Structure 1
């Protein structure tokens, strides 16, 4: 299990505070919007000392946040529920939520305070399953959450993230204007903090544009921020080309200078940077010569990579939602260990008596990474025709294909051995009678069969023989069962105890790749049964590009280092259905 973390202030905060009236409150719908996280640094400490915790907001699965609870100060009780989340979306690095507030009388005073703006600070409760350690520009230790999930949102007195607050409509307009103009985040934060009006913000943004346009570029010996740095130049131009195929993307300040450039225009700039005279060169000559430089193929690769990752990183659906994502440092067998203490009991020690020794039981499952890939070619003719879609469409399909491939691998794993799963380290299938996680007779999902499945999972024991905590949270089904299961799980306003839907909080996960029209599974959120991994430092599909010789143009290799395995049989249950 992962520890539940909350974004609340752990130390004395500086006076960076603001009171924002939630003009986004919709009285008719009973909803209010809030910036729930900006990924801002929060000071924490562990055994190694103090560090700055950062959240990578780009990896959060937004679809899974619909319906989670909005609480009072992270109190996990029914009377503390203030509402639910309707929708979450990204605005740059910010996560913004629309929350539906409760009409229950016992929380009316708090809801009223939220509506009036008196209560406007929010905090998130979340679990982290993967970290990336590093240091900031000042050499301070950092830990970035690269795989994490939000479990609840709370209204609090003081948030750790200073910008996690209910938002006004003016603030949304100001944020959009500032980002379009390329205003620095610090300057934008100042506008929001002082509660600036839209007109005040327009004036500040205009002054910021004028001052930046008149500024003299100071070049340093390190040259890390100017376009004389080849890496920065490639990234900026690749992003500018990406804007042509994804107009909704807001380009960075560095990329904005190249937005609207054709491929021939980019080739001209590349050649000029390389000291090559471009006087009198036609478009095809510019491109042909630019292909011989090191920067031009890398710029195209940057654009291809952005398109590929954009399609690959679409919200996961189906079986990928149920598997834990991790990394592997190499291609050797990856072992998942379970350190179990359920067989260790505490015994009374009499006066002058001795303490008896106990031990932790290790249970391990293994799987390994494999390499998958494909080479695609982009012709010289497509480049001369300025046809970006000729290769961005292909890369987008490859991104979708990579995500689909990973899902299919997990489905193949789960459906191995006629549907009971792969063979585990004890020589038995993932779902086996001796594991207590399979129904003796097939039957469709119903209150009776779900109750039996839940009971079986609740009675699971660890390797040491003691009871463990296994809470079913998702039901995996083929599309054939989607309608009947949705009806079964739909919450109703019960008038009698007999009408209570005890499984209304069970989340259905539909996986169209499942071959059986009847088999269904229960999965627990507190004990992962399936796991998949990428090579450390290379999550998802990676690309390499070179100028082709056999092919008149550019060749791009797409590589995916990926593996998956069943790592724990206690976290799932299956029924063959009927």
Structure 2
């Protein structure tokens, strides 16, 4: 049997608008901590707050960015026991108008916040919660609506300038023929057979009676084995809920963290509450489950967000520990990224050749630039740790976030030690460079001939050596030192040497006062060796790199098999090397 094409007469292509039914108040199956229930929306002007109009028209309630905004809901009102409205499609989505006209897109759903409920238990024990005060937040086009009557309207709404009425609006007078056409359009919209429409017309059912019968018919089909209807009354995306829950768990164990307003509703959630929520949002019944069962099932169920929420919480703790750990040499180094694990190669170009005068009829002379290169590898480092099932059942949030904070600090300590080990390689001479000589070598002009204590004289000699460095073409490049790097044993001496003195005569002037920045690195093995280094932003020297998109320690989660709980893999893709010897100078000390 061939049906007539769906062509909504309420569609105005010039204005890019179409009239829609937003909600009929049909019951929607829900799952809460207390078990399943039906939710209804009370449809009248007292219950519905439309003060937010106009609101966004979204693609399936997605709130991740402006690309998901299809248009806006520009008007809404209560009419005939339904919440109806007018949507305007954005000029960015002209194809949607074609899909609405052909019936490809026809179903809607709304996002809302509930201010008050009334509850009752119907015959058979079914719990019903009716939203008696609620606010419309957004509307969405969806593939399967929670309310089967939430759809594009075939006939246009009566024209009105009000978006929310304060008194019930009488329904327009309709002839029997008009009602019959609307009943047939209703059956077509809900994919009900022609026999359904014929039966309603034969018994002269009103539009309201036909709608009620259509809802009952659709719900009967939804409970048939093999049928599946997804409720779409969801205002917050799963990603947003996961992020808020993870932040709340982190804030519980870290009092210094001030939770966002979005995370505050979850501050009282225990790990058991989070597990319950994850299972119910995954449509897993928790009736009869013990707390231990809920924790176990939430970690093992493939559609549960529980492992990701715990992973997000752990990552926050890991990052907090990582960011607070000192890494002294990073201040004198440049950070970059690597695209893959192949050795990272840096090409250095010499200074540009000197410009020469060109005569009135002369020609330009060719110049050359010298090249040099240095390479270093990016390594993979990591460890697997676990949160036990017992700790999660006991809601021991503080214990595992504190432990993961220690792992964050350990990652930062690893990086700091890595840089120190690189600097002091070869018994203090540093790593071998591409020319075959160590970083600090007489041929590089960056190593004191004899070790000497840190003093105005020796620091002056170090600065002079750096200032007189020559580039690849042999020309002076005038490198300016910025950092003085010492072990803790030389900290006091260095502070005195760099102190700013208000001198009364020229002989008392401190030439280094305020000129260098002091870096004290406790990991340096020599108690006498000291260094000066140039600003890495102006002169290549020490460089460290992370794998692109993986800056700092990364956390991955999975349900444990060998251990009873959730496992975390802490991974760090990191490498470092010296790109040029000219920006560093070393004195072994005495």
Aligning the two structures, in what range does the TM-score lie when normalised by the shorter sequence? 0.5 to 0.7
3-state SS of the aligned residue for 2:266? coil
CA RMSD of superposed structures (Å)? 2.3
Report what 1:427 is aligned to.
436
Distance 1:546 1:221, change over 3 A: farther
Structure 2 Cα separation of the partners of residues 429 and 226 of structure 1: 63
Select which of 282, 296, 302 maps to 1:288: 296
Select which of 306, 325, 331 maps to 2:341: 331
**Cα offsets for 1:139-173 (capped at 9, x unmatched):** 9xxxxxxxxxxxxxxxxxxxxxxxxxxxxxxxxxx
Select which of 495, 507, 519 maps to 1:509: 519
Quick check: 1:474–1:522 contact (8 Å CA) kept in 2? yes
TM-score (norm 2): 0.60
Report what 1:313 is aligned to.
323
Structure 2 Cα separation of the partners of residues 216 and 352 of structure 1: 78
Select which of 265, 268, 271 maps to 1:263: 271
Q: How far off is 1:327 after superposition?
A: 0.6
Q: How far off is 1:248 after superposition?
A: 2.2
Larger radius of gyration: 2
The yes-or-no answer on 1:539 pairing with 2:551 is: yes
Structure 2 Cα separation of the partners of residues 346 and 529 of structure 1: 28
Structure 2 Cα separation of the partners of residues 460 and 137 of structure 1: 54
- For structure 1, the 5+ residue unaligned runs are 1-135, 140-209
Report what 2:481 is aligned to.
472
Report what 1:218 is aligned to.
138
Distance 1:429 1:371, change over 3 A: same
The yes-or-no answer on 1:561 pairing with 2:573 is: yes
The yes-or-no answer on 1:389 pairing with 2:398 is: yes
3-state SS of the aligned residue for 1:448? helix
Distance 1:219 1:417, change over 3 A: farther
**Cα offsets for 1:335-367 (capped at 9, x unmatched):** 12222225x112222332221101222221111
Structure 2 Cα separation of the partners of residues 452 and 438 of structure 1: 11
The yes-or-no answer on 1:352 pairing with 2:361 is: yes
Structure 2 Cα separation of the partners of residues 523 and 226 of structure 1: 57
Structure 2 Cα separation of the partners of residues 225 and 392 of structure 1: 34
Structure 2 Cα separation of the partners of residues 228 and 221 of structure 1: 15
Quick check: 2:325–2:413 contact (8 Å CA) kept in 1? no
Quick check: 1:227–1:233 contact (8 Å CA) kept in 2? no
Report what 1:235 is aligned to.
243
**Cα offsets for 1:525-562 (capped at 9, x unmatched):** 13141010001111000011111111011111011000
Quick check: 2:386–2:566 contact (8 Å CA) kept in 1? yes
Q: How far off is 1:309 after superposition?
A: 0.7
Report what 1:19 is aligned to.
none
Distance 1:523 1:220, change over 3 A: farther
Distance 1:535 1:486, change over 3 A: same
3-state SS of the aligned residue for 2:375? strand
- The correspondence of residues 132-531 of structure 1 with structure 2, limited to 5 A, is 215-220=135-140, 228-293=236-301, 294-314=304-324, 316-342=326-352, 344-505=353-514, 506-525=516-535, 526-531=538-543
Q: How far off is 1:280 after superposition?
A: 4.0
Distance 1:338 1:477, change over 3 A: same
Q: How far off is 1:392 after superposition?
A: 1.1
3-state SS of the aligned residue for 2:427? helix
Structure 2 Cα separation of the partners of residues 295 and 236 of structure 1: 12
Q: How far off is 1:219 after superposition?
A: 5.0
Quick check: 2:326–2:413 contact (8 Å CA) kept in 1? no
3-state SS of the aligned residue for 1:565? strand
Distance 1:246 1:220, change over 3 A: farther
Quick check: 2:286–2:294 contact (8 Å CA) kept in 1? yes
3-state SS of the aligned residue for 2:449? coil
TM-score (norm 1): 0.61
Which 10-residue stretch deviates more, 306-315 or 218-227?
Answer: 218-227
Structure 2 Cα separation of the partners of residues 461 and 403 of structure 1: 35
Quick check: 2:242–2:308 contact (8 Å CA) kept in 1? yes
Report what 2:563 is aligned to.
551
3-state SS of the aligned residue for 1:309? helix
Distance 1:137 1:443, change over 3 A: farther
Distance 1:458 1:222, change over 3 A: farther
Distance 1:138 1:280, change over 3 A: closer
Quick check: 1:225–1:232 contact (8 Å CA) kept in 2? no
Distance 1:410 1:240, change over 3 A: same
- For structure 2, the 5+ residue unaligned runs are 1-64, 69-114, 116-132, 144-231
Report what 2:149 is aligned to.
none
Structure 2 Cα separation of the partners of residues 371 and 494 of structure 1: 53
Report what 1:571 is aligned to.
583
**Cα offsets for 1:245-274 (capped at 9, x unmatched):** 112222223322211210001111111101
